Amino acid sequence: MTNSILVLITGANGQLGQALQAEAAGFPSLTLISSARSEVDICDTASIGQAIQRYQPQVIINCAAYTAVDKAEAEPAQAYRINRDGVANLTAQAALHNIVLLHISTDYVFAGDQAHPYTELDTPAPKSVYGASKLAGEQALLQSGCKGAIIRTSWLYSEFGSNFVKTMLRLAQGGKPLKVVADQYGSPTYARDLAIAILQMAEATGQPLFSPPQLWHYANNGITSWYDFAGATFHTAGLECTVEPIQTSAYPTAASRPAFSALASGKIKLHFNTAVPAWRHSLKLALSRMLNQAAN
């Protein structure tokens, strides 16, 4: 298609990258070019430049990130190298070649000390190295002068990659009671819903909304705890599994998590007419796909 918008996806082998590819057929105006780290390393400026010369994209969707939340506490240099410096490398090349950069960020940039969903106007205050490194990446894009957008999301899951829902389904097969944290609250987000929102943005990158770049939030509608999310997963999947609620203090981790990190998605819904399904609705759809996948 001669008028197709060429979109380069970095980190395409991850959960969101695979979700973007799964939803690509619904966007005939876009041509997606998927690249794994072995082909495009965002920490290597030459690697980025070569990919741009090869594919000539109008849009880059950056799904590449350091996401090992607890491990980041022990290796902050690596987290910042990917989540801050890698994004800075992308912004420099995007600005040079007039490319729109859509960058994915996280609810972990917030402290989690408020009781209502975070909007794009709320002040970040990360409590972990991971969250701080992702915030540094956001700042690199906002200060770069390139066209783009930062899309924050939360509690991502899907039939792809590793995630909470797949872990719960696997643990349920063991037949033992599970203990799940009940005092952390957020908005579970189906990666394919997020992918649709991002691809809608990619279609609209000719609009002035991307210059200068802005912050956007996308998470499925509704708020729950990890404990209730686990329970809903088992109930929807028709699995019998005893789940015991525990406090965060009973499950110590290297990195501190926000106690409340639900995101308000009103801005993206307003400007892009983006669907924001209820998390329970999307969980049902995701589990149906997972179970069909397992059966085939």
Cα R_g (the chain), whole angstroms: 19
Burial 13-26 (b: 16+ CB within 10 A, else e): bbbbbbbbbbbbee
Residue 23 has pLDDT above 60, yes or no: yes
* Ordered domains of the chain (ranges, CATH): 5-162+187-221+261-278 (3.40.50.720)
Across the chain, mean pLDDT equals 96
Please report the pLDDT score of residue 1 as a whole number.
42
Q: Give residue for tokens 């209820």.
A: 278
Identify whether 190 is a catalytic site residue.
Answer: no
User: How far from 208 is each of 37, 69, 202, 216, 271, CA to CA, in Å?
Assistant: 31, 34, 13, 15, 12
**pLDDT by residue (tens digit) across 218-236?**
999 999 999 999 999 999 9
**pLDDT by residue (tens digit) across 105-155?**
999 999 999 999 999 999 999 999 999 999 999 999 999 989 999 999 999
* Cβ neighbours, 10 Å, residue 170: 10
From 130, 185, 190, 227, active-site residue: 130
Q: Which pLDDT band, with edges at 50, 70 and 90, does 2 fall under? A: low
H or E, element range at 33: strand 30-35
pTM above 0.95, yes or no: yes
The proportion of the chain whose per-residue pLDDT surpasses 90, expressed as a percent, equals: 93
Give, as one character, the DSSP assignment of residue 41. Answer: -
Please report the pLDDT score of residue 149 as a whole number.
98
